[in-house]
């Protein structure tokens, strides 16, 4: 039997004993939320803007859909999937800036019309340089392939800034006799 959150059972055992709430219920809540947050961070690492919304919506819909419509799905797995899926779907609403979302959607549709599907879809995913920046890593000395029409991003960590070079003191001018 598949259990996504069985690792959380020992973590919540004492809380369950003290509160009278079944350990399995607490583990599903805690583990499901933590798993959903990890999925959200991973999707945010490789996607941006409209792409993140799309990936979270698809992942959340699959989880909820399987929990609701799946055949012979154990009750605990249903609750785990509902927790993960509802977190991802509701996070879309929480993070939505409707003005920004509309601008991104308009930009996507415009890119689709003018540059084609490949360019429009590639604009929803982070470039290798953007992923490196999100991870806090520099790309100095690393060749990064950039798709046509995209701008390469070079990230230099703040600690790698060279110290300013001192300005030389002016030379004394020779005195005339």
Distance CA 119, CA 144 (A): 18
pLDDT digits (tens, 9 = 90+) for 103-147: 888 888 998 899 888 888 888 888 888 888 888 886 554 555 555
Place 22 in a pLDDT band, splitting at 50, 70 and 90.
very high
Place 59 in a pLDDT band, splitting at 50, 70 and 90.
very high
Q: What is the DSSP letter of 162?
A: P
Task: Sort residue 85 into left (φ over 0), alpha (ψ -120 to 50) or beta.
Answer: alpha
Distance CA 91, CA 36 (A): 10
pLDDT at 177 over 70: no
Spatial contact of 86 and 64, defined as CB atoms under 8 Å apart: yes
Distance CA 36, CA 138 (A): 28
Residue pointed to by tokens 């300013």: 164
């Amino acid at each position: 039997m598949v259990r996504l959150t069985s690792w959380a059972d020992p973590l919540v055992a004492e809380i369950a004993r003290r509160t009278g709430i079944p350990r399995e219920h607490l583990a599903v809540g805690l583990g499901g939320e933590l798993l959903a947050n990890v999925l959200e961070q991973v999707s945010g690492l490789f996607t941006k803007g409209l792409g993140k919304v799309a990936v979270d919506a698809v992942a959340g819909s699959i989880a909820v859909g399987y929990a609701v419509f799946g055949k012979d799905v154990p009750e605990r797995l249903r609750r785990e999937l509902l927790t993960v899926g509802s977190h991802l779907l509701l996070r879309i609403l929480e993070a939505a800036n409707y003005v920004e979302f509309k601008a991104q959607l308009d930009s996507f549709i415009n890119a689709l019309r003018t540059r084609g599907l490949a360019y429009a879809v590639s604009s929803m995913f982070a470039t290798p340089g953007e992923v490196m920046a999100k991870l806090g890593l520099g790309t100095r000395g690393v060749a990064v392939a950039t798709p046509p029409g995209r701008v390469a991003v070079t990230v230099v960590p703040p600690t790698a800034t060279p110290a300013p070079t001192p300005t030389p003191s002016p030379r004394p001018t020779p005195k005339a006799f």
